[in-house]
Structure 1
Amino acid sequence: MSTLTLTLGRPTLADKLFSRSLTTDIVLVTAGAALTAVAAQLAIPLQPVPITMQTLAVLLVGSTLGATRGALSMVLYAVLGLVGLPVYSDATSGPAVLFGSTGGYIVGFIFAAALIGWLAQRNWDKKFLGAALSFLGGTVVTFVFGLAGLALVSGAGLEQVLQWGLYPFILGGVIKAAIAAAIIPSTWKLASWLETRRK
């Protein structure tokens, strides 16, 4: 008998730790949005785009939850901020943020989590190199949407948009991808070790 679930396809790290069910999926999606909201408050204020830890949260959420739940978690995060909860960076919210200079990055989180989750469901996240490549790919997706949104909102030229929305964040993006690539495969190993201890 199959259990109703939001996720399809191969299991992810979350499925290794928790049994699949609709209730579990809802809790995990909500927890992913909450983690992203908390990480968004850990920021270095820059204009027009601050440096935050929410991109690290996106990498971890996408990899842990998989494509569907990861993307839904980021959709929930975006919607919570849109309706007024102070979940965006610097405890901001509302349409002015989502449709402002940083809105493209928030939209990019959805597609980044989906890509990373899809790759995780193909076991890219079980070893450091695969995880790192997956997370770098997700980071690139976030930047593509973020830069497009920034260009659209600001009306600035390409070089100015890159100076505002890419150059200050390259090193941080690589570091966050490396951190996530160290955390996720290690957690897989720990989960496997705990499973063998229980048997």
Structure 2
Amino acid sequence: MTTLTLATGRPTLADRLFSRSLATDAVMIAAGAGLTAIAAQVVVPLYPVPITGQTAAVLIVGGALGATRGALAMALYAVLGLFLPVYSEGAQGIGVILGPTGGYIVGFIFAAALTGYLAERKWDHKIFGGIAAFLAGTVVTFVFGMTWLSIALGLDLEATLQGGLYPFIVGGIIKAVFAASVMRVIWLAVHRSDERKANEAV
């Protein structure tokens, strides 16, 4: 019997912890958007782009949920921000999306899709694979973010790099390592649980 689910790829961490179903998918997508909204309120103010915790949440959500559900969670977050104060520093509205930082929010959707795709191929099972996957997701976010930033403020390449990349390189690496470490620890617990159950069954 086939269970309907939005998960179209191979099983990810979420699938090892919860059964696949549309109801479960909906809850996890909402939870992913909620986690990102909470992390967005962890802010170090900078102009034109603040440092926030939401990028780490994007990586974890994508890795845990997989490509489709991860992207949907970020799309839901982007839509919720049009009506609710869930963007960084409690901002909301279409003006945020159209403003200098809007590209980063759009980029979250594609970053989560990429990290989820790589997680479906077990990159997040190992620490270095996880770091590589999450750094790739971070790069996607910044490609969208800096392109949008440059257009919105009419910046040249150097000004765009100074305002939209250089201040975030170290933080981006730290967030990727953090996200990979979180995923690795949880996967270790899952594997140990599997081994314990296998030994008990013998």
Q: Same fold (TM over 0.5)?
A: yes
Compute the RMSD of aligned alpha carbons.
0.9
Equivalent in the alignment of 1:143: 142
Partner of 2:26: 26
Aligned residues: 198
Tell me the alpha carbon deviations over residues 32-64 of structure 1, each in whole angstroms, 9 at most, x when there is no partner. Answer: 000000000001011110000000000000000
Shift of 1:195: 3.5
In structure 2, runs of 5+ residues without a counterpart are none
Structure 1 residue ranges, 4+ long, deviating more than 6 angstroms after superposition: none
Deviation at 1:186, TM superposition (A): 1.3
Corresponding residue number in structure 2 for 1:79 = 79
Please give the per-residue CA displacement for 1:9-52, whole angstroms capped at 9, x wherever unaligned.
Answer: 21000000000000000000000000000000001011110000
Tell me which amino acid in the other structure corresponds to 1:149.
W
Mapping of residues 77-116 of structure 1, within 5 Å? 77-82=77-82, 84-116=83-115
- State the partner residue of 2:127: 128
Aligned to 1:185: 184
Separation in 2 of the partners of 1:78 and 1:92?
12
Task: Report the Cα distance in structure 1 between the residues aligned to 2:120 and 2:6, rounded to whole angstroms.
Answer: 14
1:93, distance to aligned residue in structure 2 (A): 0.4
TM-score, with structure 2 as normaliser: 0.96
**Secondary structure class of the residue paired with 2:81:** helix
Structure 1: gaps of 5 or more residues: none
Aligned-residue offset at 1:197: 3.5
3-state SS of paired residue (2:85): coil
TM-score by length of 1: 0.97
Contact 2:9 2:67 (C-alpha < 8 Å) held by counterparts: no
* 2:7 is the alignment partner of 1:13: no
Q: Structure 2 CA distance, aligned partners of 1:27 and 1:197?
A: 29
How far the C-alpha of 1:196 sits from its partner, in A, is 3.6
- d(CA) in 1 for partners of 2:127, 2:75: 27
Q: Percent identity?
A: 62
Could you give the per-residue CA deviations for residues 55-95 of structure 1, whole angstroms, max 9, x where no partner exists? 0000000000000000000000000001x200000000001
